[in-house]
Amino acid sequence: QVQLVESGGGLVQAGGSLRLSCTVSGSIFRFVTMGWDRQAPGKQRELVARITSTDGSTIYADSVKGRFTISRDSAKNTVYLEMNGLKPEDTAVYSCNAEDFKLHWGQGTQVTVSS
């Protein structure tokens, strides 16, 4: 059973920073991609960031480019999301995902940015 455990969410003032972490366990396969999605109330889930295992290349949603940075530590099976310059519109539940032969999801961690 693949398990993803997120941490690092919380309440922060606009302009502040948070660092999310996600540790993955239970898979005997290496993950092709790892990343973060988010879902705000009344909105569909959207891609925030992805990182590939082949070359470490990354993709970001246009709304977070220049503010968020995704990274991974393969030895720890952990993916991180550093979020800077947070805005109220970043408020959402952030969910970690990892893909081997299918996508696996964490439970999500709440990020709330106040005005």
Q: What is the rounded average pLDDT for all residues in the chain?
A: 94
Q: Which of 81, 61, 59 is nearest to 70 (CA)?
A: 81
The lowest-confidence range among 24-33, 38-47, 80-89, 92-101 is 24-33
Residue 29, pLDDT above cutoff 80: no
Query: How big is the chain, counted in residues?
Result: 115
Mean pLDDT of the 70-94 span: 95
CB 35 within 8 Å of CB 51: yes
At residue 27, the pLDDT reads 80
Between the CA of residue 6 and those of 42, 98, 115, what are the distances in Å? 22, 12, 25
Residue 105, pLDDT above cutoff 90: yes
CB 104 within 8 Å of CB 96: no
Residue 42, pLDDT above cutoff 90: yes
Give the distance between the most distant pair of CA atoms in the chain. 44
